[in-house]
Chain A
Amino acid sequence: MPATPLPVMPTPSLSDDVALAARGDRRAFERLYRAHVDKVFTLCARMVGERARAEDLTQDVFVRAWEKLGQFRGDSAFGTWLHRMAVNVVLNERQAEKRRRERHDDGIEDMDALPHSEVRPLPVPGLSIDLEAAIAGLPPGAKKVFVLHDVEGYTHEEIAGQLGVTAGGCKAQLHRARMLLREALNR
């Protein structure tokens, strides 16, 4: 049979990969991982302020995503769904840590009771290093609100829902975070 010029096999798109991964295709899931890992890691790193823990949490996020892929309905982009899952994983990890420490938690302020010695600046090269270090040095509650609002673009209402606080409390915490950052950067 004479050879006929044939089109090159199409590379599966990310939306194809979501469907394939939901059916158990780990190769497809690995492609999703590679497409999204930096964004997930960035969120985790800025929210916890410590690289090793952020890497552990990033793994947790993707394992959770693999387990929950069957529940992804495509109502939002996969990246958005994954991002929200990352927020949940980080916040839940904080809750678990707080339970381990046998501290009562009923709001943002309690998160700030965690010792600041746990917060270490990330070694991020470039012009933004001062701001990165200042964010890492924020109290945990203020840091979460600042990262979610000013860096990641969530609204006060969304953050309030995630953290179980009022939107007003969230705004106050954000203002506090900004003022603390100003103080740190002007030091």
Chain B
Amino acid sequence: MTHPMITCDDAQLLVSDRLDGTLSDTESAQLDAHLAACAACREVARDLEQIHAAAASLPTLTPSHDLWNGIDARIEAPVVSLESHRRSPIARWSTRQFAAAAAVLMAVTAGGTWFVAVRSEGAPTVPVATSPGPRTELVSVASEKGMAAYEGEIGTLRNIIETRRGELDSATVAVLEKNLKLIDQAISESKAALASDPASTFLADQVSRAYDTKLELLRSAAMLPSRT
């Protein structure tokens, strides 16, 4: 069977169509006939096949740095809702585990440790936590009152975790302690730098962020379900 001759431009378009899997039988026969007679188009076909194959196996790229902090700063502050946790869809968590987690959280809120840090008298602050409750206290992390509020919250959560230590997975506790150590080091260094340069809003902000990170970690740990 013979096929009408096609131009090199048409043939090369058909090469692309063949790579896309959209070539009809007739077009395929026309292309094969052309390639059999045209060395230049055979070379083009070979090159395009190689490019097509290489493109499909290109490696995954990685950003030059962790982008999470920039994202975290742009998304709204966390709202930890008791209702949402009670209704959590994680089927593997038992009702009892949810009740325990909720009880821990309620103990935290009942202790009056929820607060919101907002800008106060020009000192930089970071929203530490928000609660749907009516009571909010305005503190600046750079102030003594702000520091005390953070430390008070941390102490309460520490006590809860310590009480529950036996219920928690030991590997999880080990990871928790390791991360807390790193955060404490960051807090210590940031506070030392802030002491040397008390007017630095950047350093005050760093302290706030470090405390915020620590609080979030402790809150998450305090609400971990037990191993049952």
Contacts and interface: CB of A to CB of B under 8 A. Distances in A.
Contacts of B67: 33, 37, 41, 55, 58-59, 62
A66 interface: yes
A171 B61 CA distance: 26
Given A128-B54, A186-B47, A63 B61 contact: no
B88 A131 contact: no
B60 interface: yes
A67 B64 CA distance: 25
**Chain A residues touching B, majority SS:** helix
B218 to A, nearest CB: 12
A20 B62 contact: no
Interface string B164-203: 0000110110000000000000000000000000000000
Contact of A122 (B61, B78, B81, B224): B61
A149 B52 CA distance: 10
A2 interface: no
B40 interface: no
B134 interface: no
A39 B60 contact: yes
B63 interface: yes
Nearest to B44: A182
B66 to A, nearest CB: 9
A9 B59 contact: no
A79 B27 CA distance: 37
Nearest to A183: B47
B226 A6 contact: yes
B135 interface: no
Interface residues of B, number: 52
Contacts, number: 136
B130 to A, nearest CB: 10
Interface in A52-93: 54-55, 58-59, 62-63, 66-67
B120 to A, nearest CB: 24
Contacts of B58: 46, 128, 131-132, 151
A150 B56 contact: yes
A12 interface: yes
A9 B56 contact: no
A1 to B, nearest CB: 11
Nearest to B14: A175
A144 interface: no
Contacts of A12: 90
Interface in A18-63: 19-20, 23-27, 29-30, 33-34, 37-39, 41-42, 45-46, 51, 54-55, 58-59, 62-63
Contacts of B17: 171
A30 to B, nearest CB: 6
12 contacts: A4-B228, A7-B227, A23-B88, A24-B79, A26-B216, A41-B67, A55-B65, A58-B67, A66-B75, A131-B51, A178-B48, A182-B47
Interface of A: 4, 6-10, 12, 16, 19-20, 23-27, 29-30, 33-34, 37-39, 41-42, 45-46, 51, 54-55, 58-59, 62-63, 66-67, 122, 124, 126, 128, 131-132, 135, 146, 149-151, 153, 156, 171, 174-175, 178-179, 181-182, 185-186
Given A41-B61, A46-B61, A178-B48, 14 more contacts: A6-B227, A9-B227, A24-B80, A25-B78, A26-B72, A39-B60, A63-B71, A124-B59, A128-B54, A131-B58, A132-B58, A171-B16, A171-B17, A174-B16
